[in-house]
Copies of this chain bind each other. A is one copy, B any other.
Amino acid sequence: MSSLQIFGVPGLPEIVEGTDLGAAVLSAAQAAGTPIESGDVVVVTSKIVSKAEGRTVELNDVDPSPFAREWSERWEKDPAVTEIVLREAKRIVRQLGPVLITETHHGFVCANSGVDQSSSGAHGRAVLLPVDSDASARGIRTTFLAAGVDAAVIISDTFGRAWREGQTDIAIGVAGIDPIYSYIGQVDPHGHEFKVQAICTADELAGAAELVKGNVSRVPVAVIRGFAFEVDDTATIAPVLRDQSRDLFR
């Protein structure tokens, strides 16, 4: 019977631009007595990836457009943050009252282009999503591989959803693991062939990791041990991003 174990990696240093995240995770996990092992899935919160990659913006350096200024004034938002949100967006999906749902340049549909002001390490700074979270994940995985550890990596973020209250952690980048597991063509115990079912296991893994990471306790990395998957070094998050032509809600 398959069994999963999920634990956080405590004791990471404060992450600053240039921090080698892969090395930091390996070393903190080792120090905690739970070294990363081959076959593990390591889930890393995007916020520390962004910090390590310098994806932060000083709000003072931002010159908001008239549109950003007017809307922000009306809804008591910081116009510099609004400007950054708009710059990170390919398209505004919904704008109603103070809510701004955008499609980012990556193709993620989320509130405020994923721009975060809550824990930027200082007032006056916003944290943006990584430029390419698949590349970020690959970088961390490469460091693991160099240390002899064949572990997959998922970069996660906390997104809202349509129809349901409460946010969940989902995957925005992967390395070494396909984000979707398809049952199509397989047969259930009653002999019915699955015609449509494909599970976004990457999102389920990211959500599972959140259950131990939390957001207050400052454990931005979790390890999932015992999840069976085939290593795939060509994997990216792209198959998860529904094309607009197939999307009934965009």
Q: Are B208 and A204 in contact (CB under 8 A)?
A: yes
**With an 8 A cutoff between CB atoms, is A81 at the interface?**
no
Q: Are B5 and A3 in contact (CB under 8 A)?
A: yes
**With an 8 A cutoff between CB atoms, is A49 at the interface?**
no
Q: Are A161 and B162 in contact (CB under 8 A)?
A: yes
Q: Are A249 and B216 in contact (CB under 8 A)?
A: no
Bound: A117/B96 CA distance, A: 39
Q: Are A165 and B198 in contact (CB under 8 A)?
A: yes
Q: Are B242 and A163 in contact (CB under 8 A)?
A: yes
Please name all residues of chain B whose beta carbon is closer than 8 Å to the beta carbon of A122 when the two chains form the complex.
190
**With an 8 A cutoff between CB atoms, is A168 at the interface?**
yes
Q: How many copies does the complex hold?
A: 2
Supposing A121-B190, A247-B162 touch, asked if A6 and B7 sit within 8 A by C-beta, the answer is no
Q: Are B168 and A101 in contact (CB under 8 A)?
A: no
Please name all residues of chain B whose beta carbon is closer than 8 Å to the beta carbon of A239 when the two chains form the complex.
165-166
**With an 8 A cutoff between CB atoms, is A170 at the interface?**
yes
Q: Are A167 and B94 in contact (CB under 8 A)?
A: no
Supposing A96-B248, A248-B99 touch, asked if A200 and B168 sit within 8 A by C-beta, the answer is yes
Q: Are B212 and A4 in contact (CB under 8 A)?
A: yes
A167 partner, pick from B197, B218, B224, beta carbons under 8 A: B197
Q: Are A109 and B162 in contact (CB under 8 A)?
A: yes
Q: Are A1 and B8 in contact (CB under 8 A)?
A: yes
**With an 8 A cutoff between CB atoms, is A119 at the interface?**
yes
**With an 8 A cutoff between CB atoms, is A145 at the interface?**
no
Q: Are B241 and A198 in contact (CB under 8 A)?
A: no
Chain A stretch 187-212: residues in CB contact (< 8 A) with chain B: 187-190, 192, 194-195, 197-201, 203-205, 207-208, 210-212
